Amino acid sequence: SQQGEEDPQALSIQEGENATMNCSYKTSINNLQWYRQNSGRGLVHLILIRSNEREKHSGRLRVTLDTSKKSSSLLITASRAADTASYFCATDEYGNKLVFGAGTILRVKS
């Protein structure tokens, strides 16, 4: 399989807590992206980080990239019930196509 891997598979936290999910990939990349999918809906792009960047912020989202470990993490700070969704990473490690991970299911309890 060409899929990347994410962990944990599922995460349940209280509103206001931080959520961290991780993504690993197999070969070299130009960029890594994170997407959110609400139940029954299409994916929505959150953030893109290039291989020469180590950290990127967007609102309450913080993404880090460690190319030496071939891994990335997505941190959502001060989580809200509306953050409940599945989160996917995607890389271009096979050149002309994006490879998506299996996703992390995040549940934020209010």
Partner 1 sequence: NAGVTQTPKFQVLKTGQSMTLQCAQDMNHEYMSWYRQDPGMGLRLIHYSVGAGITDQGEVPNGYNVSRSTTEDFPLRLLSAAPSQTSVYFCASSQRLTGEQFFGPGTRLTVL
Q: Are strands 19-24 and 43-50 parallel, antiparallel or unpaired?
A: unpaired
Given the structure tokens 């998506």, which residue do they identify?
100
Q: Which is nearer to partner 1, 13 or 102 (CB)?
A: 102
Which 48-87 residues touch partner 1, going by CB under 8 A? 48
Which residues, 6 or more positions from 59, have their beta carbon under 8 angstroms from its beta carbon?
A: none
* Interaction of residue 24 with partner 1, rule CB under 8 A: no
Rounded to whole angstroms, how far apart are CA atoms 7 and 54? 20
* Interaction of residue 28 with partner 1, rule CB under 8 A: no
Rounded to whole angstroms, how far apart are CA atoms 29 and 14? 34
* Interaction of residue 42 with partner 1, rule CB under 8 A: yes
* Interaction of residue 104 with partner 1, rule CB under 8 A: no
Rounded to whole angstroms, how far apart are CA atoms 56 and 74? 10
One of 73, 77, 100, 107 touching partner 1 (CB under 8 A): 100
Q: Give the binding site for partner 1 (CB under 8 A).
A: 2-3, 30-31, 33, 35, 40-45, 48, 88, 90, 92, 95-103
